[in-house]
Amino acid sequence: MKPLYLEDLDGMTEEEIINHIITEYEAAKEDVNKYDILIASEEREMCEGSSWFLLRDKETGNLYENHGSHCSYYGFEEQWEPEETTLKYLKSANHFYLCGFSKENKMLIMSFINNIKEQQT
């Protein structure tokens, strides 16, 4: 399944996304490389922004989300703390309660999520 990169990360390669996370989020390379990046979205407006990543642990197959935000003074520093999630939650109406995606991107994300298969560990 080809990854989905949206907003300011659209058009980047996987390597560029990984380097971006290491640099902008001040994440350790080994903490980023343990995941397959399924969805990456980041939006930087003039004074604020947000990000969301959907990840799959390469060893266990478990899904993780990482949320970030920034204001005019601070960036995404130290905001690489993936939290385990489930397909059931990602497919629920509650998932987008915390996410400020456009209607178009919500449709792209939901289509992607609906095509994710559970991995056997």
pLDDT above 90 covers what percent of the chain?
50
Report how far residue 57's alpha carbon sits from residue 100's, in angstroms, rounded to the nearest whole number.
25
Query: C-alpha angle with apex 65: 96 to 26, nearest 5 degrees?
Result: 125
pTM of the model: 0.87
CA gyration radius for the chain?
Answer: 14
Lowest mean pLDDT among 2-11, 42-51, 94-103: 94-103
In a domain, 56, yes or no: yes
Decide if pLDDT at 120 tops 60.
no
In a domain, 16, yes or no: yes
In a domain, 18, yes or no: yes
Confirm if 121 and 63 have CB atoms less than 8 A apart: no
Count of structural domains within the chain: 1
Per-residue pLDDT band at 121 (split at 50, 70, 90): very low
In a domain, 94, yes or no: no
Q: Which pLDDT belongs to residue 99?
A: 60
Q: Looking at this protein, which amino acid is placed at residue 97?
A: Y
Q: Looking at this protein, which amino acid is placed at residue 18?
A: I
Average pLDDT over residues 43-52: 74
Q: Which pLDDT belongs to residue 14?
A: 94
* CA dist list (Å): 13 to 18, 72, 107: 9, 27, 22
In a domain, 109, yes or no: no
Show the domain range for 43. Answer: 4-86
